[in-house]
Amino acid sequence: MTENNRDHWPDILDWRQTVREHLKDTTQEDEGLRERKKRLMRQQISDTATSMFLDRGFDDVRITEVAAACNVSEKTIYNYFANKESLILDREEEMASEIRRTLGPGAAKISPVVATVEVLKSQMDDLFTHWEGTERQDMTMIRRFVDLIEQTPALRTAQVDMMDRLAQIAAESMAARAGVDPEDPEPQIAANALVGLWRIFFRAIVKYSGERSTPSQVRAAVLDEVERAARLIDTGLWSFGMAVQGANGREQLRVAAEASNEARRQVVTAIKQARTAWLQMKQELHHQVHDERDSYRNAQYKRAQQIKEAAQTKKREAQQARQKTRQEFRKGPAR
């Protein structure tokens, strides 16, 4: 690595530290000394790797070089990160925790769409409040960071896999809250739609963070796109379907609205049925496990009884053998 490339590191590391501070995980407040040391080491490795990737390209940096730059062994790198891609895509655990908190049991009693938008608004407020009045460096750094992911096939694939895992967590969280099977179509499609708002969020930042855009202008444009996407999710796809089909006119709007209301009623009915079926299945599974446990206990009891009876039989045979031996001994040797 050249000295010129190393000169860029303080800027990149400062930007990464700023992002972490404004997206701080609340669980850090209760962490102990050991957890804090592990978090700081993980952060150092990720920040150093990201700096090297941005300077030289993801494919041109080896794990051994990252380890050497951090003064740790390659084994230590893999103790903190499952693979090379996770060195830069390092916020999955925090995002998963946020999804569980926002969408799972115990969450605020508001629409999952509204809850997700509020999370993204909070993230935008934190980031753009800091960037307001600063130099263009931060916005440029965002573009470099996102461009690196978009232009690297391995990172793009890893990001898709990460979003799939987050979508499954969202489905499980909402299903637990609704009392339905996580694999039902309703929580699955809802989860994919909500996780898609994060994709809209990041794509909009790249889209609007041009050289002439101020942080406040970018924030407004990003928020507008996120809210537009959220409205589409919240109202259903019938409105978009109308636009695709070229429908217009008051009568067609009325028919579409009625169809939307009917669709909503059908969805509510389907969810109620799914909830009932899910509870019934869990009850049946509980009874099955209970029956299997009773059957197992009965079988074990019978087996124990058989062993006991066999032992008693052996004991009687031994007693009879001893008695016979005594009788023969008393008779003495035959004359």
Q: Does 172 lie in the same domain as 40?
A: no
Q: HSE of 203 in the Cβ direction (CA atoms, 13 Å)?
A: 8
Q: What angle do CA 228, 231, 233 make, to 5 degrees?
A: 115
First vs last C-alpha separation in the chain = 110
Query: What does the pLDDT read at residue 299?
Result: 75
Query: What does the pLDDT read at residue 329?
Result: 60
Q: Does 260 lie in the same domain as 214?
A: no
Query: What does the pLDDT read at residue 83?
Result: 93
C-alpha 335/C-alpha 332 separation (Å) is: 9
Q: Does 256 lie in the same domain as 214?
A: no
Could you give the number of structural domains in the chain?
3
Query: What does the pLDDT read at residue 330?
Result: 62
Q: Does 221 lie in the same domain as 96?
A: yes
Q: Does 231 lie in the same domain as 95?
A: yes
Query: What does the pLDDT read at residue 67?
Result: 95
Burial class (CB in 10 A: 0-12, 13-18, 19+), 203: middle
Positive or negative, the Cα torsion across 66, 26, 124, 109? positive
Q: Does 191 lie in the same domain as 111?
A: yes
Query: What does the pLDDT read at residue 162?
Result: 92
Q: Quick one: tokens of 174?
A: 């909402």
Q: What is the pLDDT along the chain (335 residues), one digit of tens a residue?
A: 444 444 444 455 554 555 555 444 444 556 688 888 888 899 889 889 988 998 899 999 999 999 999 999 999 999 999 999 999 888 888 889 989 999 888 888 888 888 899 888 887 776 666 555 444 555 677 778 878 888 899 999 999 999 999 999 999 998 888 888 888 888 898 899 999 998 899 888 878 876 567 777 888 888 989 998 888 888 775 555 555 455 555 555 456 556 666 666 666 676 676 677 677 777 777 777 776 777 777 777 777 777 767 777 776 776 676 676 666 666 655 54
Which CATH number do you get for residue 41?
Answer: 1.10.10.60
Query: What does the pLDDT read at residue 184?
Result: 86
Residue 240 lies in a domain: no
Query: What does the pLDDT read at residue 75?
Result: 93
Positive or negative, the Cα torsion across 40, 43, 47, 49? positive
Q: HSE of 142 in the Cβ direction (CA atoms, 13 Å)?
A: 22
Q: Quick one: tokens of 142?
A: 């965002």
The parent domain of residue 67 ranges over: 1-90
Domain boundary among 60, 90, 120: 90
